[in-house]
Structure 1
Amino acid sequence: MLERLQKIIARAGIASRRHAEELIRSGQVRVNGVVVSELGAKADPERDRVEAAGRIAERPPEPSYLALHKPVHVVSTMSDPEGRATLRHLLRGLAGGIFPVGRLDYAASGLMLLTSDGELADRIFRNSARLPQTYWLKVAGRLTDDQTQEVRREARVRLRRLRSPGAAGSEPANPWYEAELTGARRDLLRRALFALGHPVEKMKRVKLGPLKLGNLAEGHYRRLEPREVKQLRRFVEQPKGAMPARREKRTNRNALRQAKKSRRSTR
């Protein structure tokens, strides 16, 4: 498959696309031994030998995408100066170059995304404020309905009470709750609960954007399915300012209400 030379050069890590264009213009790029100086020139990375600034543009290995179930008391980085357990301890046997996208608190558990795809990771970081996350959490005691409403209002999250995962019969005195929020709201949620006298005791992320923790065992990881990678790409490549359909429906309902009020007032 033919691709532009600057894309091939950038993917190989020789230069950025902009710098690759400068290399092409200055005659420092060869395809099968022939100098190419046209910016629109293309080559087949599978068949053609592309050289830039004296270096061969070799196709890098396919990136890895992992979903990992982080246990509590594991640092969500690949190394730790204090000598605590890290994600690297859970990824023994995997090739290097994999890194976590985002973090989870030391005392929290749940779903984490790891990848060697720097471009996708950068997109996720830049769109983290729009990436919804779902947590299961347990607090000290039990929230009243009024307190639940106050937390929703203060932290601007969706919060509902759950039956304890796997439990049967009557609900316990301190049930599990499910919170839907963005990463930036996590600390607000903790502070709102603490202020009400119900500090968070356990916190577990079960969903990150389109990715779900599912039945993945604690301390284990799995490779993402190709469809999951596509879903994640589509999610972070939404136009800036795009709103979920649920919000659009609510806006439409509000508009209808306003229209009805206007019609009544003119009668």
Structure 2
Amino acid sequence: MSAQNPADAEGVRLQKVLANAGVASRRVCEQYIVEGRVRVNGQVVTELGTRIDPASDLVDVDGTAIQLDATKRYIMLNKPTGVVSSMKDEQGRPDLRRYTREWPERLYNVGRLDAETSGLLVLTNDGDLAHVLAHPSFGVTKVYIAKVDGRVTAQTIARLVKGVELEDGPIAADKARLLGTEGGTSLVELTLHSGRNRIVRRMMAEVGHPVVDLVRRQFGPLHLGTLPAGRARELTTVERGALLTIARRSTPDPEHD
């Protein structure tokens, strides 16, 4: 642990770092420290004079990681249909560049959504976090709402959870539930951690209910909420903390174990 004691003039005071990171006012951050709610590199710190190096030290409050690296940017986009998940499409189709112009950093998308699928897409310049979020081995779940042809039965929902056989191997939903039926269509909520291409569409086609419309509502701890289609916003302090907490738990730094 590289946190310094009060007598050491190097580094930045912990409460100042926390306040600058948007955790709370400096006075409230001091209270958090005294109450033992703040850890530096996994160790509880209760001394107010403690100084840290924001470039290398890992800090969490109540178990939630705090972003100290101000060069990292985290954006949520509600991708509309008709837009490809690429920063530059060689075929000239609408791409993601139009949604990143207000941020100076070079951002890229975490994973993909099909052009005809709308919903939550994360844009960032944090490669380590992007790897954890996108790779299925880390088990980060995504929640989709699919409008499908036909009236889906309870037996079909059970089959989706039990698993279906696709051309590239078996796949099972982590969770599935029927939200309702209207006319000749049904609304199905699917939770998956798979990163396979067009997986929801292929699963629903396999059980006889082709997708009419598909939207991703959640990605890990992030919820699309009321963000309109075609709009992007920076993640809140709480949302960033939730993502960084996942990343740190998935890829522990041996220096800070």
With normalisation by structure 1, the TM-score equals 0.61
CA RMSD of aligned residues (A): 2.9
**2: CA distance between counterparts of 1:236 and 1:91?**
23
What's 1:244 paired with? none
1:88 counterpart = 2:97: yes
The residue identity in structure 2 corresponding to 1:85 is: P
Answer yes or no: is the 8 Å Cα contact 2:135–2:195 preserved in 1: no
What's 1:232 paired with? 243
What count of residue pairs does the alignment treat as equivalent?
Answer: 184
**2: CA distance between counterparts of 1:61 and 1:184?**
29
What's 1:156 paired with? 172
The residue identity in structure 1 corresponding to 2:113 is: L
Shift of residue 163 of structure 1?
4.0
**1: CA distance between counterparts of 2:54 and 2:224?**
36
SS at match of 1:219: coil
The structure-2 alpha-carbon separation of the partners of 1:192 and 1:127, relative to structure 1 and needing over 3 Å to count, comes to: closer
Shift of residue 75 of structure 1?
0.6
Q: Structure 2 unaligned runs (5+)?
A: 1-9, 13-51, 56-68, 164-170, 252-257
**2: CA distance between counterparts of 1:227 and 1:199?**
37
Shift of residue 101 of structure 1?
1.1
Per mean C-alpha deviation after superposition, the further-off stretch among 144-153 and 186-195 is: 186-195
What's 1:190 paired with? 201
Shift of residue 200 of structure 1?
1.4
**2: CA distance between counterparts of 1:184 and 1:68?**
19
Matches within 5 A, 1:99-138: 99-126=108-135, 129-138=138-147
Matched-pair identity in %:
34
The structure-2 alpha-carbon separation of the partners of 1:2 and 1:123, relative to structure 1 and needing over 3 Å to count, comes to: farther
The residue identity in structure 1 corresponding to 2:243 is: L
Deviation per CA, 1:189-244, whole angstroms, max 9, x where unpaired? 4333212321112110000000010000000011101111111111233358xxxx
What's 1:199 paired with? 210
1:144 counterpart = 2:149: no
With normalisation by structure 2, the TM-score equals 0.63
- Which has the larger share of strand? 2
Answer yes or no: is the 8 Å Cα contact 2:100–2:107 preserved in 1: no
Answer yes or no: is the 8 Å Cα contact 1:127–1:236 preserved in 2: no
SS at match of 1:135: strand
Shift of residue 152 of structure 1?
1.9
**1: CA distance between counterparts of 2:246 and 2:114?**
24
Higher-Rg structure is: 1
Answer yes or no: is the 8 Å Cα contact 1:139–1:201 preserved in 2: yes
SS at match of 1:110: strand
SS at match of 1:111: strand
Shift of residue 73 of structure 1?
1.1
SS at match of 1:89: helix
Shift of residue 61 of structure 1?
5.5
Answer yes or no: is the 8 Å Cα contact 2:119–2:217 preserved in 1: yes
Shift of residue 45 of structure 1?
8.7
